[in-house]
Structure 1
Amino acid sequence: MAPILDITNLRKNYGATEILKDINVSIEPGDFLVLVGPSGCGKSTLLNCIAGLEPISGGQIEIGGRDMTQVSPKDRDIAMVFQSYALYPTMTVAKNITFGMKVRGADAATQARKLKEVAAQLQIEALLDRRPGQLSGGQRQRVAMGRALVRDPKLFLFDEPLSNLDAKLRVEMRTEIKKLHHNLGATMVYVTHDQIEAMTLATKIVVMKGGVVQQIGTPAEIYNKPANLFVADFMGSPAMNLIPARAQPNGQGTRIEMDCGGSAPIVLKDSRATGLPQDVILGVRPEDIAEAGFRAGEGVQEAACLIDMVEPAGADTYVVSQLGGKQVTARLHAETRAQPGQMLDLAFDLSKVSYFSPATGERLN
């Protein structure tokens, strides 16, 4: 299947400042691509380049197999949903949604049919005669999405569309967008700094930092096999524990040693790990550290750890310990009897761990 969006060696400069550096991304029809990264990483600039709102300094962008370098935004067969909604304040909701169709010469019957379909899809039938000033943030966001949906474009572009909404409404709208993607089978490119949003929505994630793509993959690949320390730390809440450790070959596997406060170091034996340098950073997700007896399997190793802090969080309880001079968070069951100041046997699932080079930050396994 030919890619619907193909970005090759894309560069973007503002004067002498390089904003995007050699970006290569492609997606198939029906994909939901999420561009994620901290503020200033270049994700919104990349979206604007795809939309044609920013000229590129090098490379190529193809949409539907057609080179878009010299094509104006209105001729790219895209629809964009902005963070600010960008609605016309003097027009009703209905007119906001159909305005673009009217400009492009769609007849009244087509406009009415599309409006009815989209209003039903987004459950905004009761709002069609209101003006944007009479709507809540969530309602305005639905109208902005409705305006994009009536276009039926090759590509939907979303620029942080939920960042102006409160936490509860964000979760609801995230579900709506996911449902829309599933029902329409549309191809979407979505910018966010919220890694939970990225993990929830995407079929493919691009993690960016400083104008450079750090990793491209499915949510599962990004979460379970982060390419480097930046991705490991950025994706996941709570973040992956990144623990300085010493590795030593030991028979069929590797002996992993981590300092443990003032007491003797913790020693784990990883039968799967081979060829590691002496100094490594061990990455383990909080959910892959359990209370002893609650996790079984070939790769599970237990060690006694001093508990510094206990944080109940409803369905889970987080406990914090010190390993390798770092705070390490374990996600335990809600009924745990863990108490600060006590030693507790924790089970580390070594089948799930990542190893990184302290020098380069790159993944080693």
Structure 2
Amino acid sequence: MAPILDIKGLYKNYGSVEILKDINVSIEPGDFLVLVGPSGCGKSTLLNCIAGLEPISGGTLAIGGQDMTHVNPKDRDIAMVFQSYALYPTMSVAKNITFGMKVRGASKAEQQEQLEKVAKQLQIEQLLNRRPGQLSGGQRQRVAIGRALVRDPKLFLFDEPLSNLDAKLRVEMRTEIKALHQRLGASMVYVTHDQIEAMTLATKIVVMKAGVIQQIGSPAEIYNTPANMFVADFMGSPAMNLIPAKTKANGVGINIEIERKNAPPIVMTETRDISLPSDVVVGIRPEDIVEPKLYSGASNQLQDAECMIEIVEPAGADTFVVSELGGTQVTARLNAETTATAGQSQQLAFDLNKVSYFAPDSGLRLN
């Protein structure tokens, strides 16, 4: 089966400034691709290139097996949902949703049939006679999605569609978009700077920085095996701890030495068969630093260390504690029962099975 979207060697320049550099990405029908990265990384520009709103400077772009590199946006069989909703203020919700169909010459009966189907899917039947100005942000967003759905396109494009909503509504709409994707089995490309949104929605994530793809993978791959320190730091909340360390072979494995303030270094033994340089950066997620006495998992690689706790932050089901190791602040996600106290030392255990190692100079993953 041909990929629904296939981008090869795509470049985008504005004059002499390269905005996108050698972008290669493809998705299968039914995939939910999320483009994520900090502001200015080129993700919205890439979405606009897919939509045909921006001409590309090099490379090819195919949708549904057909070359769309130089094809007009209206002939690409795509539907786009914008951050600003872009609804017509003087038209009713029903007319906003069916306007595109009317322009394309669909019969009144067909318009009505699609309208009823989509209104039911999005639970907006009772809003059809209202105008956009009488709707809440979440309702407007649903209408904008409804307008895209009646198209039944090959590809849906979403440009930060939830960034104008408050936090609670964003979570609700995220769940709705995920459910919609599962119901329709539609192919979607979605731009966000919110890595939680990316992790919860995507079947495939593209992490971008300065116009370059840093990593492509499933949410689990991106989270558990980040390709470099940028991805490790960007994906996850709180971010992965990145701790400078020294290594020394010890016969049975490799000693990992991490400096502590006013105390001898922590020494842990890495027994996996990996080769490491003398200087490394240890990457460990906050949830992989645990309290041995409250730990019920099955890891055979837990290694204890005495850590001075500097900050304790209760957060409902979790309590985050911060310690200084290797000259950097390290966060552990403990459970709410912890007795950790700021200003006192605490036994913490590091799950070395879950550790990522990075090269300090290039930032690239070593294991």
Paired residues, what number?
Answer: 365
Counterpart amino acid of residue 325 in structure 2 = L
Distance in 1 separating the partners of 2:103 and 2:224: 47
Counterpart amino acid of residue 138 in structure 2 = G
The SS at the match of 1:153 is: coil
Unaligned ranges ≥5, structure 2: none
Distance in 2 separating the partners of 1:142 and 1:301: 49
- TM superposition shift of 1:292: 1.6
Q: Answer yes or no: is 1:314 the counterpart of 2:313.
A: no
Counterpart amino acid of residue 89 in structure 2 = P
Q: Which residue of 2 aligns with 1:227?
A: 227
Q: Which residue of 2 aligns with 1:6?
A: 6
Residues 71-220 of structure 1: pairs in structure 2 closer than 5 A: 71-220=71-220
- TM superposition shift of 1:86: 0.4
The SS at the match of 1:293 is: helix
Distance in 1 separating the partners of 2:125 and 2:268: 60
Residues 268-283 of structure 1: pairs in structure 2 closer than 5 A: 268-283=268-283
The SS at the match of 2:244 is: strand
Counterpart amino acid of residue 303 in structure 2 = Q
Residues 52-71 of structure 1: pairs in structure 2 closer than 5 A: 52-71=52-71
Q: Answer yes or no: is 1:290 the counterpart of 2:286.
A: no
Q: CA RMSD in A?
A: 0.7
Distance in 2 separating the partners of 1:116 and 1:238: 43
Q: Which residue of 2 aligns with 1:336?
A: 338
Please give the per-residue CA displacement for 1:53-82, whole angstroms capped at 9, x wherever unaligned.
000000000001111112100000000000
Counterpart amino acid of residue 115 in structure 2 = L
Distance in 1 separating the partners of 2:261 and 2:105: 71
Distance in 2 separating the partners of 1:109 and 1:126: 20
Q: Which residue of 2 aligns with 1:15?
A: 15
The SS at the match of 1:181 is: helix
The percent identity for this pair of structures is: 76
- TM superposition shift of 1:254: 0.9
Counterpart amino acid of residue 248 in structure 1 = K
Contact 1:249/1:274 (8 A) holds in 2: no
Counterpart amino acid of residue 140 in structure 2 = R
Counterpart amino acid of residue 317 in structure 1 = T
- TM superposition shift of 1:299: 1.1
Distance in 2 separating the partners of 1:329 and 1:255: 22
Q: Which moved more, 1:243-252 or 1:98-107?
A: 243-252
Distance in 2 separating the partners of 1:152 and 1:210: 33
Distance in 2 separating the partners of 1:106 and 1:87: 20
Q: Which residue of 2 aligns with 1:356?
A: 358
Counterpart amino acid of residue 340 in structure 1 = A
- TM superposition shift of 1:252: 2.9
> What TM-score do you get using the length of structure 2 for normalisation?
0.99
Distance in 2 separating the partners of 1:144 and 1:325: 49
Unaligned ranges ≥5, structure 1: none
Distance in 2 separating the partners of 1:9 and 1:293: 52
- TM superposition shift of 1:297: 2.2
Contact 1:254/1:273 (8 A) holds in 2: no
The SS at the match of 1:161 is: coil
Q: Which residue of 1 aligns with 2:252?
A: 252
Distance in 1 separating the partners of 2:158 and 2:123: 20
Q: Which residue of 2 aligns with 1:39?
A: 39
